[in-house]
Structure formats: C-alpha cells, structure tokens
Amino acid sequence: MAQTLTEIRRTLEQAGLRPQRMFGQNFLVDHNLLAKLVVLSGAGPGSAVLEVGPGTGVLTDALVEAGAVVLAVEIDRGLAALLEDRYAAVPSVHLLNADVLAGKHRINPAVIAEANRLGLSPVHLVSNLPYNIATPLICELLVGAVQADRGQASALACRDMTVTIQREVAQRLTAPPGSDAYGPAGVLAAVLGQVTGGPRLPPEAFWPRPTVASQMVRIDVRPAGMDVVPDVDVLQQVIAAAFSQRRKKLAALLRRGDLPWPAGPLAEAMDAAGIDPDLRPERIAPAAYASLAAHLARKIVGWRDLAKRPINP
C-alpha cells in the first residue's frame, strides 16, 4: 500500500522530523502520478535503480513493488535513519546517507563506489529530484555515462533518467535552438541523450506544495552517439565558453584570451563545423556544437592540462 499524506505526516512527526527547505524536500504524494513515473521509467524485476532524495520512501515502495533493486541516496540524516528502519528487512533496498553531489560539478565518489560494490551498474535514475540539484545532477550523469562507457573507473554509468523536475528546467532540456530557454543543459542533453517530456505535475501533487509547476522527463543516455566527439570535456568547455556571453556573437570568443584554445585554431574549427561566427550562441544547433568540439579536440594539444570549465545551469 502506498503511503498516504496522513501516514507521511504521522511518520515524520513520530520521528521528530519535518520537510527541510534547504534540501528541497517536497514529497510526491499523488499515487497516480507516482505510478506514471515508474511506468515511464520502465523499472521492473532486477532493474538497478538509483533514487536520489527518497524522503519517506513513497517512490521507493513503488520501485520495490515493481521488482527493482534500489540504491537510495538521502542527504537528510533523520530521514536516512527512518529509511534504514523501514527497509531493514528489504534486501532489494540499499540506503546511503550522503549528498549525491560532491560540489556542483561532480558525482559523490561514495555514490559511485557503493553502486559498483553492489553491482548496480549501469543504473537507471528514477527520482522525484530536489529542484536545487536537478540540472547539475542530470548534466554530470550524462557526462559520467560517456566517461564510464570509455573505461573511466571513477565515473558512474547511467543508462537513463526518469525524474520529476521543475517545469522550467524541463523546458530548458527540451528547448530548440533560437528559443529563450535554449542553453547549456539543453545542448548537452541533446548531444548525449534523448529527452522525452512526460506529464506535468501541479503543485498540489506534492507536500509541502512548491510554488512552481513540475514535469516528468525521461532522458535516454546514448554514449555511443558520442563517437563524433573525441572527448566530452572539450564539449563541456565549448558549451560553457559559448554561453558565458550568450548575448554576444560567437566571434567574440575569437577575441578572448582566457579560453583553452588560441583564436586561430578556434576560427578554423568554427569554419570546419559550418558555424557562422556572426550568430549568437542560442542560434547554434547541438550537432554544430558537437562538431566544433570534435574539431577542437583534434587540433589542440595540451588542452587536458587546463581546468575543466563547468556548465552554467
């Protein structure tokens, strides 16, 4: 039986807990939408699922019922203790009291180590994600999937992501070139995955109610499609550099002295990728950014020694 809102409230009260805004705790309590999230994820018997922010275990229960093996990562110590008691006798649920992110642009190594220890790799992310970590977590899992596919042991292999996120973030992930919502996260998602929009979720589907609407999305990761880009770090650097001045033409990049690439090779790579430097970043298609990154990676020697430039949400 799915937990009702009354049961969730009572469970938290008995444990002396309450939803923490600092952790983005808005529990999904609409059972029909919970069921749709599980169906959209395709989670079934034996599926290796990473759940971030399980709360009181409402979604966890649904995943267990579907037959999935769940690694639930909960940052809140009080909730983690509650979940340990709840699932102590459930062998298919593994709890980790940790922040899924080690900083804004890195998956917590403890999460990767635990997933590998349990043999849960690659994972399927199925989560009602806290709004404040949705964009960086999705971007890092996309990048990590490529790195893991290419043999990097310190990366987390992720097959797909089915999540509830802020509707504004969902729009960024699916925005076409030329739209106001088009930006770094959307470019990365389009190059490294395929995003499918799911049902919208009204504020009343959660407790406490958020002030914004939410939406389900599914992202199917496709690291094999990264064959066109020699290294994903270059792609991240290209996207970050372009959108750091999104209102300026790309030609402005040729006049900057703080980029990993000299102006000459950058201009040659733009030309080889068929990119008009008189266009602004939001007018460039994801495939063109991938092509630009590929040409740069092949041209520049020593770029690996430069600091990785994070993608701005």
CATH number of residue 100's parent domain: 3.40.50.150
Is residue 311 pLDDT above 70, yes or no? no
The band of 309, judged by pLDDT with boundaries at 50, 70 and 90, is: very low
- Residue 240: per-residue pLDDT: 94
How many structural domains compose the chain? 2
- Residue 261: per-residue pLDDT: 85
pLDDT digits (tens, 9 = 90+) for 269-297: 999 999 999 999 999 999 999 999 999 88
Write down which residue in 159, 193, 224 finishes a domain: 224
Percent of the chain with pLDDT over 90: 81
Residues 103 and 153 in one domain: yes
Residues 168 and 88 in one domain: yes
Residues 96 and 193 in one domain: yes
Write down which residue in 192, 224, 256 finishes a domain: 224
Mean pLDDT of the chain: 92
Residues 255 and 151 in one domain: no
Q: What is the mean pLDDT of residues 179-208?
A: 96
Q: What is the 3-state secondary structure (H, E, C) of the chain?
A: CCCCHHHHHHHHHHCCCCCCHHHCCCEECCHHHHHHHHHHHCCCCCCEEEEECCCCCHHHHHHHHHCCEEEEEECCHHHHHHHHHHCCCCCCEEEEECCCECCCCCECHHHHHHHHHCCCCCEEEEEECCHHHHHHHHHHHHHHHHHHHCCCCCCCCEEEEEEEEEHHHHHHHHCCCCCCCCCHHHHHHHHHEEEEEEEEECHHHEECCCCCCEEEEEEEECHHHHHHCCCHHHHHHHHHHHHCCCCCCHHHHHHCCCCCCCHHHHHHHHHHCCCCCCCCHHHCCHHHHHHHHHHHHHHCCCHHHCCCCCCCC
- Residue 222: per-residue pLDDT: 83
- What is the span of the domain harbouring residue 240? 232-305
Is residue 72 pLDDT above 90, yes or no? yes
- Residue 75: per-residue pLDDT: 97
Residues 37 and 176 in one domain: yes
- Residue 149: per-residue pLDDT: 86
Residues 285 and 169 in one domain: no
Domain-located, residue 301: yes
